[in-house]
Copies of this chain bind each other. A is one copy, B any other.
């Protein structure tokens, strides 16, 4: 199997080829239409009422692998003790909660996010004009889906998406970004974190007139500050940013040695923009279960660039491995530190490096719990970092009813997430 690490320094989840993912026929049945199908799917891949098994065996290399036999019966951890059933059971709500919680997880596992149109945060290629990189942008009223079960909301988007296309340039590039306002209201665009000439700073009535309906405005500047930055509305901004006028602006350092692929051996460089206003609690424009999982192999090193475009602080918690925090607002930290929960305030950007050492599906969510879980299960600011052992993934692939083209994009498009499905015969 070829090295899954691409050369590109900033590559999104969607553009990295080569990750093998098991993909079972039950998940090719198409869109989830209800809990009936979910139940069928689970039953198909589960031999019993057991908990999830994994196609890889993280416990195989664990020093406690052989241990958990005494208290459990037929599967890891669980031990049914029917003789001590709880007294209170009149309320049906716990069961209701579990069914609802399972249904929403199943939608995530079925790759709901990949089925939705209008994915945001996609790279945009500039047109070269003289020495400038020219980005042509429209500002539009759009319909945007937070997840598949909710009606589309009346949102705003640059080039029709929330988040906007991800702009990536190199330090020293001349950037010309032409914004055509197709809205019925005025606006202005601020490149948050960049050092622009003041008359390009994008604050209506202070540095420019508002961009009125039908008008265009050209922002032209040299990208001076490397790192993780943003662009968003700076006019009626609580409303306009809250409705989706936000995007990532990445400036790669001029010296290739300072880029994350060279500096940290990063193979995936992921932008993670959160918002919490008119579309609820979102990561890159989607709420769980329509958020995209992050897929990686054991041994990969990935970067995540947290960007907060909302109005609340969000403490991002990665289960399992720690995050090494290396930059803040684009500026390298003089003393990088490790943590597993990182509060990101509105307007801040924090870059972290993760060594994907431990296989498994690791929950990755805002630890303000009401931003992540309610009485009907998880929602909002939840996703997962899924780390697979390459050999196990390949073996699973060979033995399963899968397409032979295991590229990650196809897997995602078809509902890649059967990696979480229990495989008969494996031990949890």
Residues of A at under 8 Å CB distance from B?
Answer: 49-54, 58-59, 62-65, 67-68, 70-72, 76-82, 84-89, 91, 93-94, 97-98, 101-102, 105-106, 129-130, 132, 141, 174, 176, 178, 180-186, 190, 192-193, 195-201, 203-222, 225, 234-239, 241-242, 311-313, 315, 317, 319-322, 328-331, 333-341, 343, 345-349, 358-363, 367-370, 372-375, 377, 384, 420, 428
Contact = CB atoms under 8 A, between A and B. Distances in A.
Nearest to A205: B105
Contacts of A205: 52, 101-102, 105-106
A119 to B, nearest CB: 23
Contacts of A315: 313, 345-348
A132 B49 CA distance: 28
Contacts of A141: 88
18 contacts: A51-B199, A67-B130, A68-B220, A76-B208, A77-B218, A80-B214, A89-B184, A91-B184, A98-B212, A106-B205, A190-B319, A203-B363, A207-B361, A239-B375, A311-B370, A313-B345, A341-B345, A341-B349
Nearest to A209: B51
A392 B78 CA distance: 57
A416 B22 CA distance: 63
Given A77-B220, A81-B216, 19 more contacts: A51-B199, A51-B207, A52-B209, A68-B176, A76-B208, A77-B208, A78-B217, A79-B178, A197-B358, A198-B360, A199-B428, A201-B360, A201-B363, A207-B360, A238-B370, A238-B372, A313-B313, A328-B338, A348-B367
Nearest to A428: B199
B78 A215 contact: yes
A67 to B, nearest CB: 5
Nearest to A315: B345
B236 A97 contact: yes
Question: Shortest 9 CB-CB distances between A and B: which pairs?
Answer: A198-B360, A347-B367, A94-B185, A343-B345, A88-B184, A331-B338, A85-B214, A341-B347, A105-B205
